[in-house]
Amino acid sequence: MNAMNPVFCTIVPPHLLDKLARSDDPARHLPARRTLEHDARQRTRRRLTAARTLAPTSRADAEEQPKRTIYDAQHTETLPGEKVHDEGDGPSQDATVNRAHAGLGATFELYLKVYQRNSIDGAGLPLDATVHYGEGYNNAFWDGERMVFGDGDGEIFLDFTLPVDVIGHELTHGVTQYTANLEYYGQSGALNESVSDVFGSLIKQYSLTQTADQADWLIGAGLLAPDVTGVALRSLKAPGTAYDDDVLGKDPQPAHMDDYVESSQDNGGVHINSGIPNHAFYLLATELGGQAWERAGQIWYDVLTGGELASDADFADFARLTLAAAESRYGDGDERKAVRDAWTGVGVDLG
């Protein structure tokens, strides 16, 4: 396995916050500017401390039960904050705490029940989360150790614990951190983001017992405030259609390599170009039908955890490994053909 290199991963991309930061309305631009400044500081801090981060000690005898602890930052930026909820506690009077607890559990359950993975590190890692972080903080993030949720500004974003797929997305950055450790830049960074979107969506589908045809394939549905013209942050089904708003602008995600965005921003456009592998997974899952976490999800999980995915892999590298994984697990049948068709459908050449 690659040496672990945890990165600071947020659910709301910088390009979207940049739009808000240029608004004439202080209720919009002040929270966005604070969020951007905060996130820039955190990214620098993660780069400086990454070299000192060690892989987890194996805990072969770890119980296969979640160990969730929720903290309350009380609108400060001090982590972890005050402990307010342990694994064995009953429901809190704070709905945000309850949603965080449930989202951590939903993520733990998918990985354990479907892929036999005990927590995000595979060895029973306790799951910690901090809620009510910052003042009007418009983001949620995985910092290599814990989940952190802002409450949103109420104008553009609501409470970041509302969509379970946001929680699943961020915790999956932890799974990637402990497995393929995809570098957070360019196509490998877009794959890092896409894997989190894919499993975030699968966690929601699993918790709702939805088939691929029933799922909405949205990331962050319910997160945008009522006055925003949009339905979510991203769409795996139709990248580029999640929002089209006077303030936020239009969703810039491409669905095909013909529209790949070359950018020096957002670590080489990791939140934008992730739309391409996202759409490939959607095409695969809907072609296979049934419950997407089964065959389609299994193929993606096999590649993420199989040890052959290089940390600097590009889309074509990942695509070829999914083709090999499909053949290894299912033979030369419908799954392999569907994988090839899905990548061809988004313009990725498998050779």
* Positions marked active-site: 170, 271
- Cβ proximity of 139 and 32 under 8 Å: no
Query: What whole-number distance in Å separates Cα of residue 123 and Cα of residue 173?
Result: 16
- Cβ proximity of 194 and 176 under 8 Å: no
Burial of 71 (0-12, 13-18, 19+ CB in 10 A): buried
Query: What whole-number distance in Å separates Cα of residue 280 and Cα of residue 273?
Result: 12
Query: What whole-number distance in Å separates Cα of residue 189 and Cα of residue 104?
Result: 24
- φ/ψ (deg, to 5) at 66: -65, 150
Query: What whole-number distance in Å separates Cα of residue 89 and Cα of residue 92?
Result: 8
Query: Which structure tokens are listed for 104?
Result: 């951590």
**Nearest Cα to 105, choosing from 68, 136, 76, 79?**
68
**Nearest Cα to 325, choosing from 339, 314, 315, 341?**
339
Query: What whole-number distance in Å separates Cα of residue 191 and Cα of residue 275?
Result: 9
Query: Which structure tokens are listed for 15?
Result: 């390009």
Query: What whole-number distance in Å separates Cα of residue 38 and Cα of residue 43?
Result: 9
**Sequence-ordered list of residues with C-beta below 8 angstroms from that of 301, at least 6 positions apart, any chain:** 115, 199
- Cβ proximity of 216 and 241 under 8 Å: no
- Cβ proximity of 132 and 161 under 8 Å: no
Query: What whole-number distance in Å separates Cα of residue 337 and Cα of residue 300?
Result: 15
